[in-house]
Every structure is written in C-alpha cells, then in structure tokens.
C-alpha cells in the first residue's frame, strides 16, 4: 500500500501560491517606493525654476520694472528659468515614457555618421561659445549603417556630445569615433575636459544625479540626460560605459548592431 499523504500536494500548492504572492507584494512595494522617491525628486526639481521665475517677476512688479537695466536683467533671468522648466518637463515626459515602456522603438537602418554630422551642426552655437572643436573619426569613409531608432539614437548622441562640450574645457576637443567589428559598430564620445571623480562615476546615470549641482544647473542641465541615454540604449539591447580620468577627459562608449 502506497503511503501517500493527501494533504502533501495541497500543502505544496499552497506553499508555491504564497511564495508567488509574496513576490508580487515585494514588487509592488518596490514600485511604490520608486514612485514616491520619483515624485519627491520631481517636485523638488520643478520648484527650483518656478521659485526663481516667481522671484524675478515679483521683484519687477514691486518696482524694479522702472529701472531699464534691472528690468532687462530680471526679464532675461525669468525667461531663462522658464526655459529650464520647459527642458525639464520635456525630459521628464521622455524619461517616464521610456521607463514605463510606453513608446515603441522604431528600428530601421540608419546612418549614424550622418546623424552625428547633423548634430554637430545643431550644436555649433554652444560649441562656438566654448571655442570647442568637434571631430569625427571612423574606420571607413561614407555612411555607417546601424540598426536603431533614428530619433532616439539622435537623442543619445545629442546628450553625450552636448555634455562633452558643456563639461569640457574652454578650447576643448570633442571626438566621436566609429569602430567596426564583425557584428557591431562601437561608438564613443570623448572629451579632453576635467573628467569625473571616480566616486561619482557609478552614479551619473541616475536621474537628477549631478557631480556639481550648481555648476551643472548653470549650464542648463536637467540632470536627466544620461538617464535618458541609458534607457534608450537599454531598449536597443545595448549598454553604455564610461571611462574618465581627472584632468584628462571622459569617454562614453556603446555598441549598435551593424547592417551593411
């Protein structure tokens, strides 16, 4: 006679069920924690430009408007704060869509060299203001075909190149290189700026993380650029790495699938 315990199977099933539910609860708790922290961060970041613009405008109303010089200065400052707010809201929308997987990537065959050249043209003004030179180096001439979402990958290149200019030195040099292997193009964005201290390196891809808070805000940063880069590359099944040496510069690198 087989010695079976009729309750054993039920017991096992209950055990599996409880374990699964516990996992679901843990995941919900984690999401709730994430949501709470995100909301706290966002409200803090939104307050800064709003308070600043409010301050300038109220000072104008309270009389500063009568002095032409002060009026122009304060109006410009208020406008700058509102531009910052606009950039922040746009980046927040992009990031939250990426994080929730709301947007579908539109993968196609794109010429990433062409995209980079267009971006260099768009960033000419800010490069010029820092007397920075922008260069491209590639393993071969002509278009460089990769599988990517054109708009999103342009965003990645823009954020990396803009950072290289912004955080680089006066008269800095920014170099984008394209290196091929059998299956991929390896893309790097390098500057010869002051570099990132090693203790900050692992955190720069976190939302709102800045190495030097005030300096980065002065330069019009939202603190979301690299978080957006990480998420977009993630959706391309790619990973971005960073190498930095103090006083020597910083290099960001990632790979994309090549399509010939």
CB of 167 to ligand ADP, least distance (A): 3
Residue 66 CA to its chain's centroid (Å): 42
Residue (71 or 130) nearer to ligand ADP, CB = 130
Angle ∠(249,251,255) on CA atoms, nearest 5:
175
Residue (166 or 258) nearer to ligand ADP, CB = 166
Strand ranges (DSSP E) for the chain? 107-111, 133-138, 145-149, 173-180, 184-191, 241-245, 249-257
Residue (155 or 250) nearer to ligand ADP, CB = 250
Residue (57 or 240) nearer to ligand ADP, CB = 240
CB of 190 to ligand ADP, least distance (A): 9
CB of 232 to ligand ADP, least distance (A): 13
* Cα dihedral 99, 258, 182, 231 in deg (nearest 10): -10
Which residue, 37, 11, 31, 26, is CA-closest to 206?
37
Which residue, 174, 162, 186, 153, is CA-closest to 250?
174
Residue (181 or 212) nearer to ligand ADP, CB = 212
CB of 160 to ligand ADP, least distance (A): 8
CB of 163 to ligand ADP, least distance (A): 4
Q: Which residues does 186 contact at the CB level (< 8 Å), separation at least 6? A: 178, 179, 180, 253, 254, 255
Reduced to 3 states (helix: H, G, I; strand: E, B; else coil), residue 202 is coil
Which residue, 231, 217, 199, 177, is CA-closest to 47?
217
What is the DSSP code (8-state) at residue 105?
A: P
Q: How many CB atoms within 10 Å of residue 196?
A: 19
CB of 253 to ligand ADP, least distance (A): 12
- Round to whole Å and give the CA distance between 230 and 239: 7
Residue (64 or 175) nearer to ligand ADP, CB = 175
CB of 183 to ligand ADP, least distance (A): 28
Residue (187 or 226) nearer to ligand ADP, CB = 226
**Contact footprint for ligand ADP (CB under 6 A):** 159, 163-164, 167, 191, 193, 196, 204, 209-212, 216, 221-227, 250
């Amino acid at each position: 006679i087989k010695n079976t315990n009729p309750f054993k199977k039920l017991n096992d099933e209950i055990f599996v069920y409880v374990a699964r539910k516990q996992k679901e609860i843990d995941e919900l708790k984690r999401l709730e924690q994430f949501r709470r922290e995100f909301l706290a961060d966002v409200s803090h970041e939104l307050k800064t430009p709003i308070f600043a613009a409010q301050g300038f405008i109220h000072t104008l109303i309270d009389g500063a408007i009568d002095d032409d010089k002060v009026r122009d200065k304060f109006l410009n400052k208020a406008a700058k704060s509102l531009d910052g707010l606009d950039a922040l809201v746009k980046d927040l929308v992009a990031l939250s869509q990426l994080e929730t997987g709301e947007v579908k990537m539109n993968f196609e065959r794109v010429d990433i060299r062409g995209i980079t050249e267009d971006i260099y043209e768009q960033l000419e003004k800010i490069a010029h203001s820092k007397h920075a030179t922008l260069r491209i180096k590639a393993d071969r001439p002509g278009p460089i075909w990769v599988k990517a979402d054109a708009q999103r990958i342009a965003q990645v290149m823009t954020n990396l190149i803009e950072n290289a200019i912004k955080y680089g030195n006066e008269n800095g040099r920014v170099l984008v290189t394209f290196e091929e292997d059998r299956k991929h193009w390896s893309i790097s964005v390098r500057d010869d700026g002051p570099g990132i201290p090693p203790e900050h390196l692992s955190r720069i891809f976190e939302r709102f993380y800045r190495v030097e808070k005030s300096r980065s805000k002065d330069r019009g940063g939202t603190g979301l650029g690299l978080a957006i880069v990480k998420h977009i590359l993630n959706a391309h099944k790619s990973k971005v790495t960073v190498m930095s040496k103090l006083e020597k510069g910083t290099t960001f690198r990632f790979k994309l699938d090549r399509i010939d």
